[in-house]
Structures are given as C-alpha cells and as structure tokens.
Amino acid sequence: MLKALIFDLDGVLTDTAELHYLAWKRLSDELGLAFDRVQNEALKGVGRLDSFEIILKNNGKNDAYTQPEKEKLATRKNEYYKELIKTLTKDDVLSGITELLTEARKMGLKTAVASVSRNAPEVLERLELTKYFDTVADAAKVKNSKPDPEIFLTCAEQLGVAPKACIGIEDSQAGIEGILSAGMFAVGINVTVTGRTPDLCLCSTEELKLDYLIKSFKVKR
Ligand code: B16
Ligand code: MG
C-alpha cells in the first residue's frame, strides 16, 4: 500500500536549475572556464563540489586548483546562488505541485523532500511549501550523492515508512537511479533517460495527479 511521496526539489517542486546555471556561469566566466546550458544538464541532482569537478573536467582543469581552493570557489558560486534565490516566491512552485501535496496530506500520505541541495530549507521557505512536508533530508549529513539511494532511504527512515511503500519523484537520471536502487516506485518528470527507466514517465508536473499515481503504483506492486 502506498504510504509516502518523496520529492526531489530542483526540477520537481520548482525550477532552480536556471539559477544554479546562472551562478555557475558567473563563476566560470570569472575563472575563464567554458560552461553552457547543455553542460548544466549534467549537474542536475549532483552536489556542489562534484558539480565543480565536472565543470573543471570538461575544461581539462581538474588539477588547476587545490582542494581548499576548489571549496572556496564552490562557496563563491553558492553566494551567487543565494543572491538569486532571494527572488523566489510561491509563484515559482511548478504547476500541479500544491494541489498534489494538499490532496496527499488529506489522504494521510506522508511527504518528504530528498534534495542534495544544502539550500533546500531556505528554498522551501521562500516557496511557502515547508508546511506541506513531514521531513526534509539534511543534505549535509548524506554521505553519498544521487545516484546512490542514501538520500531516499534516509527520507523513508525519517518518515518511518518502508521504501517499497514510497513513490519517489525526480527530474534527473541520477535521481531516478537512486529511487530505483532504494526499492521505491520511480516517477520521472521530463527525464532524458540515459540509464534505468522510471516506472512512470511524465512530461511535466501538471500530470502529477494523485489518483493516477496510486493506480500506476498498484499495477506495478
Ligand atoms: P547546493 P536537487 C541539486 O538539487 C541540484 O539539482 C544541483 O544542480 C545542485 O548542484 C545540488 O542540488 C546542490 O545544491 O549547491 O544548493 O547545495 O535536484 O537534488 O533538488
Ligand atoms: Mg532535480
């Protein structure tokens, strides 16, 4: 029986990918590194330092900075990102999300956020979504980034629900792999599938209707 919905943040609850892009672009320009929106796609669901490593690797510059320098530069990117998220309001919640959360809670389903972003609590506050969630995984405490299932399993544990009774909702391939490895039912939102396929593929959050999710979950389980 379905007991919980576990949501990714960026790309599912709101579209902060563009803001991450603008912050990385500003840092890359300052450092003379090439970075564009296509490269940004590969950073979805990937943690801050790992994202910087990918940008450096794409530029053949993995060894150009020491670890403390890399950490300092990634922090600079985060300062740029934090400036940008100040503009977020509840109007930036993606279509269908507030309705889905309202209905899920009415039905007694548990809800959690599984985001690797350390800014997730602030983003949720700005979107006025905090009240809809029973728990938010603390990205700082999660050792293994997506595609590892750790963040999804942490959410299930915090909710006191078995992974097989959870639906995980994600927009990145890394996230889908994490949900499937956690033994959960995976819903993909506009995922460019390059690995394992989600149990249910949707084109946008507008298609996230609770009765349809429950029906699809039952067929698969
Ligand atoms: P921060 P998600 C991820 O969020 C983003 O998709 C990814 O682009 C970002 O690098 C990562 O959070 C870390 O974010 O620098 O704010 O800690 O998709 O897991 O909600
Ligand atoms: Mg995402």
> Along the 221 residues of the chain, how does pLDDT read in single tens digits?
999 999 999 999 999 999 999 999 999 999 999 999 999 988 988 899 999 999 999 999 999 999 999 999 999 999 999 999 999 999 999 999 999 999 999 999 999 999 999 999 999 999 999 999 999 998 888 989 899 999 999 999 999 999 999 999 999 999 999 999 999 999 999 998 889 999 999 999 999 999 999 999 999 87
CB 12, CB 170: distance < 8 Å? yes
- In order, the DSSP letters of 63-103 are TSS-HHHHHHHHHHHHHHHHHHHTT--GGGBPTTHHHHHHH
pTM of the entire predicted model: 0.93
Q: Residue 141's pLDDT is what?
A: 86
Residue 1 Cα, ligand 2 centroid: separation in angstroms?
A: 26
Judge if the beta carbon of residue 78 lies within 6 A of ligand 1. yes
Q: Which atom of ligand 1 is nearest to the CA of 120?
A: 16
Q: What are the chain's domains?
A: 4-15+94-220 (3.40.50.1000), 17-85 (1.10.150.240)
Describe the crossing of helices 17-31 and 67-85 by its angle, rounded to 10 degrees: 130
Consecutive H or E run containing 40 = helix 37-41
Residues in the 5 Å CB sphere of ion ligand 2: 8, 10-11, 45, 171-172
Residue nearest to atom 14 of ligand 1 (CA): 117
